[in-house]
Amino acid sequence: MPVCRIYTYSGECLKSFDTKDFGNTITIGRSSGCNVSLKGLAENNVSREHIILKFSGGKWILEGVGHSGVYKDAVKIGESEVQEGEVYRFSQLFLCIGEKCGPSDFDLTWEAHTENNQHRSVIWPGVNSVGASRDNYITVRTEDVSRVHGKITCEGKMLYYQNMHPSLASEVNGIAVQGDKVELNVGDELTLCDTVTKVIKGVRIKQQAVVKRTISSDTALVKKQKHSWDWSAAMIIILLLVILVTALIFCVFYNVLIS
pLDDT at 218 over 90: no
Confidence of residue 17 (pLDDT cuts 50, 70, 90): very high
Q: 190 and 122 share a domain?
A: yes
Confidence of residue 259 (pLDDT cuts 50, 70, 90): low
Compute the distance between CA of residue 212 and CA of residue 181 in angstroms, rounded to an integer. Answer: 45
Instruction: Output the pLDDT for position 141.
Output: 92
Compute the distance between CA of residue 73 and CA of residue 124 in angstroms, rounded to an integer. Answer: 9
| Complete edge-to-edge strand list for the sheet that includes strand 120-122 | 120-122, 106-110, 195-201, 189-192, 170-172, 175-176
* Sheet strands (E) in 149-225: 150-155, 158-163, 170-172, 175-176, 182-184, 189-192, 195-201
Which pTM was predicted?
A: 0.77
Q: How buried is residue 114: exposed, middle or buried, by Cβ count under 10 Å (0-12/13-18/19+)?
A: middle
pLDDT at 211 over 50: no
In a domain, 48, yes or no: yes
- CA-based angle 120:76:69, to the nearest 5? 80
Confidence of residue 108 (pLDDT cuts 50, 70, 90): very high
Are 3 and 207 contacting, i.e. CB atoms less than 8 angstroms apart?
Answer: no
Question: For the CA atoms of the chain, what is the radius of gyration?
Answer: 29
pLDDT at 223 over 80: no
pLDDT at 217 over 70: no
Q: 11 and 83 share a domain?
A: yes
Q: 59 and 125 share a domain?
A: no
pLDDT at 1 over 50: yes
Helical (H) or strand (E) element with 217 = helix 215-258
**Higher pLDDT, residue 228 or 46:** 46
Residue where a domain terminates, one of 179, 201, 223 = 201
Instruction: Output the pLDDT for position 64.
Output: 96
Closest of 64, 194, 75, 176 to residue 132, by C-alpha:
194
Residue where a domain terminates, one of 49, 78, 97 = 97
**CATH number for the domain that contains residue 148:** 2.60.200.20
In a domain, 41, yes or no: yes
Name 216's bridge partners. Answer: none
Q: 82 and 27 share a domain?
A: yes
Q: 197 and 136 share a domain?
A: yes
Rounded to an integer, the average pLDDT of 211-227 is: 43
pLDDT by residue (tens digit) across 55-98?
999 999 999 999 999 999 999 999 999 999 999 999 999 999 99
DSSP 94-160: EEEESTT----SEEEEE-S--TT---EEEPPSEEEEEESSTTSSEE---SSS-TT-EEEEEETTEEE
In a domain, 207, yes or no: no
CB neighbourhood size of 228 (10 A): 10
Q: 152 and 220 share a domain?
A: no
Residues with Cβ within 8 Å of 202's Cβ and at least 6 positions away in sequence, in order, are 11, 103, 104, 105, 106, 107, 122, 123
Q: 191 and 228 share a domain?
A: no
Q: 85 and 118 share a domain?
A: no
Please give the tally of structural domains in the chain. 3
Compute the distance between CA of residue 254 and CA of residue 252 in angstroms, rounded to an integer. Answer: 5
Instruction: Output the pLDDT for position 214.
Output: 37
Average pLDDT of the chain, as a whole number: 87
Q: What torsion do the CA atoms of 157, 163, 168, 172 make, to the nearest 10 degrees?
A: 30
Instruction: Output the pLDDT for position 215.
Output: 39
Rounded to an integer, the average pLDDT of 211-223 is: 41
Q: Which domain holds residue 59?
A: 3-97
Instruction: Output the pLDDT for position 242.
Output: 83
pLDDT by residue (tens digit) across 118-169?
899 999 999 999 999 999 999 999 999 999 999 999 999 999 999 998 889 9
Confidence of residue 30 (pLDDT cuts 50, 70, 90): very high
pLDDT at 208 over 80: no
Q: 252 and 167 share a domain?
A: no
Q: 33 and 92 share a domain?
A: yes
Q: How buried is residue 137: exposed, middle or buried, by Cβ count under 10 Å (0-12/13-18/19+)?
A: buried
Rounded to an integer, the average pLDDT of 210-217 is: 40
In a domain, 162, yes or no: yes
Confidence of residue 52 (pLDDT cuts 50, 70, 90): very high
Name 111's bridge partners. Answer: none
Residue where a domain terminates, one of 97, 129, 158 = 97
Instruction: Output the pLDDT for position 207.
Output: 54
